Amino acid sequence: MNRGISWAFLAVSVAFFLFIVGLTGYRLEDARARNSLVVRDRLLDLATKVSSVRATYTGLDSPSARRELHALFDSEPRLLLLCVRSPQQGILYLLARNQVYLKEPATPDSTWRGTPTYQVNMGYELNLSRPLDGDASGAVLDGVFVIMGREDLYPIVRDDLYLFLAFLLVSGVVILIVMSVQEVPQENAGPIGGPSSGQVSQRSLTSPRSGLVRPEFLEPKLRAELESAVAAGRDIAVARIRVDEPYADSHLAEAYTEIARVLLLRFPAHDCLFETGNDTITAVIPEADIDASVRALEAFRKAVVAKQIEGRVRPLSVGVSSRGARLVSPSTLLEEADISVTKAAREGGNQVIGFRADPSRSAAASAL
């Protein structure tokens, strides 16, 4: 992904994270507030029931009264500690799910006076007190309740996980789409080589005028094909195709486009056909020696001549050079093709001339 898309993805990720944090905090606080109201109502109900038990059994010391209080305690799953205390009589009844909830005293003691100290986890547990109805001794009911337990946290965490997985899924799909779109120009650039993928993606490889590959890609493509041919022991040819008498012709552009169309139909390796001037085309012909290249280009020349382009015959001069088992550079092949096409034009045009390499003679003297 490019830098702009990366920054956009980072911004969306941060916004999503803040959204999840805010939503989780809101839901936790909402659950805590609702559960606080619920346990306050439950303490009020417990106070009424404890007052009823105390009135029925004239106190809370009898085994029957304690059994009923124990049953009340077990019926409240959020209740962690239940204590009935009186300023005059001390602790009348104490029951806790864990001794850790009561700091002191640990056991009921009739001589103890004051208010017990309870061990409560702030935010998750709540300590509430309620005077018993109709009690002249001022007895008080204390209760420690869970207001945020696993049953409250589980749905919040579960929903956060679902949201996170959904975000990952959507992000993955978007990234794949962006990468597939950005890979299109890179795939087109593969056979050509040359400029970096960033440069290739910024403009088309082919010229809108002719449909041929732009001239700046000729040298790197020819170099790559030549190296491949040398490594495999194959031949390779380079041709310069020039429109004869192009000057003072107002229809040259249209003719050039039509000639390029014929060339594209006859040579399937479109990535080896280059627009290299207003009146010139360069063709790299892999796996072809000088004779095969001359025959193929002669057939192409005849097809162009036989076709009326913009109301007239368009003759072509063509020069061809090949590696011919030599160790040559791309510039040498291009120079030899230029020598051949110049010779073809000078000798009347509308013909194909191949460059026959002779190691004992100079390149300029070897065009036949």
CATH of residue 269's domain is 3.30.70.270
Mean pLDDT of the chain: 84
317 lies in a domain?
yes
40 lies in a domain?
yes
Q: Work out how many domains the chain is built from and give that number.
A: 2
Determine which helix (DSSP H) or strand (DSSP E) holds 303, and give its type and residue range.
Answer: helix 290-306
Find all residues with CB under 8 Å of 62, minimum gap 6, and list them.
none
**Domain interval for residue 98:** 3-151
Q: Above 60 in pLDDT, residue 368?
A: no
What SS3 class is residue 330? helix
167 lies in a domain?
no
pLDDT computed for residue 9 by the predictor: 84
Span 252-289, pLDDT tens digits: 788 889 999 999 999 999 999 999 988 899 999 999 99
Residues 131 and 14 in one domain: yes
Per-residue pLDDT band for 367 (boundaries 50, 70, 90) equals very low
* Contact (Cβ atoms closer than 8 angstroms) between residue 281 and residue 323: no
What pTM did the predictor assign? 0.47
Span 286-326, pLDDT tens digits: 999 999 999 999 999 999 998 877 778 889 999 999 998 88
- Other beta carbons within 10 angstroms of residue 219's beta carbon come to 15
Give the type of residue at 327: L
Which of 151, 180, 209 is the last residue in one of the domains? Answer: 151
Q: Give whole-number Cα distances, 296 to 217, 225, 293, 303, in Å.
A: 23, 19, 5, 11
Exposure on the CB side of residue 96, measured as CA atoms within 13 A: 21
Which range among 73-82, 240-249, 344-353 shows the weakest confidence by mean pLDDT? 240-249
Span 95-143, pLDDT tens digits: 888 877 777 655 555 566 667 788 888 888 999 999 987 766 789 999 9
Helices 3-56 & 150-189 angle (0-180, nearest 10): 170
Residues 147 and 228 in one domain: no
Span 58-105, pLDDT tens digits: 888 899 999 999 999 999 999 999 999 888 778 888 888 887 777 765
196 lies in a domain?
no
pLDDT computed for residue 53 by the predictor: 92
pLDDT computed for residue 190 by the predictor: 40
What does the alpha-carbon distance between residue 93 and residue 101 come to, in Å, rounded to a whole number?
15
Q: Above 70 in pLDDT, residue 169?
A: yes
Residues 106 and 217 in one domain: no
Q: Give whole-number Cα distances, 273 to 17, 107, 210, 353, in Å.
A: 53, 98, 10, 19
What does the alpha-carbon distance between residue 209 and residue 230 come to, in Å, rounded to a whole number?
33
